[in-house]
Homo-oligomer: A and B are copies of this chain.
Amino acid sequence: MMVEEIVMKIKFDQLVETFEEILKSRGVKEETAHIAALNFARTSADGVYSHGVNRFPRVIEYLDKGVIDGNAEPECVFAAGALERWDGHMGLGNVNAAKAMDRACDLAKIHGIGIVAIGNTNHWMRGGDYGWQAAGRGCIGICWTNTTPNMPAWGGLEPKIGNNPLILSVPVSDGNHVVVDMAMSQFAYGKIELARMKGEMLPVPGGWDTDGNITKDPAEIEKTHRVLPVGYWKGSGLSIVLDLVAAVLSGKNSVTDIGRKYEEEVGLSQVLIAIDPEAAGTREDTDRIVKNVVDDIKASTPEKEGGSIFYPGEIEIRTRKDHMENGIPVLEEVWEKIQNLKK
């Protein structure tokens, strides 16, 4: 990022087609390739480049190495009413998660609430996508994943816990859903790297320095690999319990297991919950309730003159609108790399 970067604008459909073609060239069947391609394209369309276009080459690398099985189908291995336990058979994580959330929504339409716990799955890319998906089906979505150990537990030195992203979404009938998507670390490693490359400090403390002090210096944090949980001891505790719920309900890997078993971040456990406000008899009130809250929050006096207060998901909605009209920014270097993945 110290060199000048050339940014291209690629149309959404072209991104999808390119991803599909490359996935199919690795033997991934059409339907699976389409679901995966849409997920990568939507993620960049929403401005989360790290888990969209920029991440695509690594997933192809994992397919080529065989640590992801591009033709695995997720399978329901245990069903009891509104709860299902699935085995992801080490397939494409974003496809598995999309299918699991779709099934959770089906279950919610029947039982009011539905839950799918999936084990032996892989990185789901941007977790927020499954929140938007549930909301798109008129459901409240709640989902989380575990990860490789990448953060110390509060009071400890070694990375023992995951940053385990948690997503909650609330549907609004015009499609402008409210979606929060938060990892349990204050900053992603990618954000820390970017700040270091730009020679900037982080806006708030993000980890520990080599003297054991909490710091905003990204270069120091990269040396210690000790990133800070959101809310210090609080995010550490939440991370641990999210992991336990995912591991217990899937019957598969905890963060601890993932760290011990695999070189790469694979074999993850996830929980996908959908709740249907229709079943609560409150579907008709939802838009009014959301609008009332959102309007009030946005009417806050800004801390900084001329500042704006955003509700969760609002920035993604604006970014998406712009990108769907004007194309999605892709680094020329990344786009070339992707072209070279074609067979």
Residues on A facing B (Cβ under 8 Å): 78, 80-83, 85, 110-115, 117, 140, 142, 152-158, 160-161, 166, 168-170, 178-180, 182, 186, 204, 212, 214, 230-232, 234-235, 237-238, 240-245, 247-251, 254-257, 273, 275-277, 279-282, 285-286, 289-290, 292-293, 296-297, 300-304, 307-312
Cross-chain contact B254 with A293 (CB below 8 angstroms):
yes
State whether A300 and B256 are in contact (beta carbons under 8 Å apart), knowing that A232-B204, A240-B180, A248-B277 are contacts in the complex.
no
State whether A81 and B115 are in contact (beta carbons under 8 Å apart), knowing that A234-B230, A256-B296 are contacts in the complex.
no
Q: List B contacts of A308 (CB < 8 A).
A: 155
Cross-chain contact B157 with A302 (CB below 8 angstroms):
yes
Cross-chain contact A303 with B244 (CB below 8 angstroms):
no
The smallest beta-carbon distance between A208 and chain B, in angstroms, is: 8
Cross-chain contact B83 with A293 (CB below 8 angstroms):
no
Q: Which residue of B lies closest to A204 (CB)?
A: B232
Q: List B contacts of A78 (CB < 8 A).
A: 280-281
Cross-chain contact A251 with B111 (CB below 8 angstroms):
no
Q: List B contacts of A296 (CB < 8 A).
A: 160, 256
Copies of this protein chain in the complex:
2
Cross-chain contact A251 with B282 (CB below 8 angstroms):
yes
* 24 residue pairs A–B, Cβ–Cβ below 8 Å: A81-B111, A81-B112, A81-B279, A83-B111, A83-B280, A85-B281, A140-B245, A152-B300, A156-B303, A166-B238, A178-B244, A180-B238, A204-B214, A230-B235, A240-B312, A241-B312, A243-B293, A247-B293, A248-B285, A249-B275, A251-B281, A251-B282, A251-B285, A257-B292
Cross-chain contact A238 with B168 (CB below 8 angstroms):
yes
Interface centre among A157, A235, A238, A296 (most CB of B within 10 A): A296
The smallest beta-carbon distance between A91 and chain B, in angstroms, is: 20
Cross-chain contact B249 with A280 (CB below 8 angstroms):
yes
CA distance A75 to B256 in the complex (A): 43
State whether A240 and B311 are in contact (beta carbons under 8 Å apart), knowing that A83-B111, A275-B249 are contacts in the complex.
yes
